[in-house]
Amino acid sequence: MRIAVVTGAGSGIGRSAAVRIAERGVGVVVTYRAHRQRAEDVVAEIGEAGGTAVALPLDLGDTSGFPAFRDALAVALAGVWGRDTFDVLVNNAGSGEMSMIGETTEESFDRLTRVLWKGPYFLVQALLPLLADGGAVVNVTSNANRANVTGPGWSVYASLKGAVTVLTRYAAKELSGRGIRVNSVAPGATRTRFADDVLGRHPEIEPDLARTFALGRIGEPDDVGLVIAALASEEGRWITAQDIEVSGGQYL
């Protein structure tokens, strides 16, 4: 059985990716930072559908914990699936904070950098010994790094997502000798808990935001999760080094 690790899989895009990957007969390791019950709910959902999943804690903003996570992952792989490697890493976990350049503090800058850039970079490094040849990495970026998208207040977030886009290309080149494909998906605005559940807290912004999409609505987690699952599967076997915008034509 193939195995996937999906970070931040307790809700939103991560949850959708975990469930959709599991539907394809893949075992899933669901990671969480603070909300264990959400992760356990995803594990239960996958189990009820006939799949196999486990939940493991991971703080993407604390690289010092990555060796311990790698060890826990190795134990789970052996104990649940009889494997010593896994096949897919989905770098989804992240956070977002809005601040204008003139008001951004070094503390918030560093916090976002740890989670959005340093974390994914060194997580790939930490897990390379366990990632099977012929595997796949899917990074979740954002259409905020596109040239036609400039939302005031998102300079740090967009810049860091742009860094992950560049990392995707370089990692695809470096890991190609092992047959490992590396791609990223760039969602537009999606109905998740992003930025402290901004859409849930401010439903009044939804009509105007929906008008920025060529397809006429805000994205749903499954719109992105299905693409991640496809890229991680045999269907994506000839795709690498790509950053695929999955945004329903936002700002087209």
Domain positions in the chain: 3-246
Instruction: Give residue 96's pLDDT.
Output: 82
Tokens representing residue 235 in the block: 């269907």
List the Cα angle 171/57/37 in 5-degree steps.
125
User: Which pLDDT does position 198 carry in this prediction?
Assistant: 64
Just list the catalytic residues.
Answer: 157
State residue 199's pLDDT score. 66
Query: What is the token pair recorded at 222?
Result: 């499954």
Domain covering 3-246, topology: Rossmann fold (3.40.50)
On whether the CB atoms of residues 103 and 147 are closer than 8 A, the answer is no
Rg of the Cα atoms in the chain: 17
List the structure tokens of 97.
């904070």
Which residues in the chain come in under a pLDDT of 70?
A: 193-200, 202
> Which residues have C-beta within 8 Å of that of residue 215, sequence separation ≥ 6?
248, 249
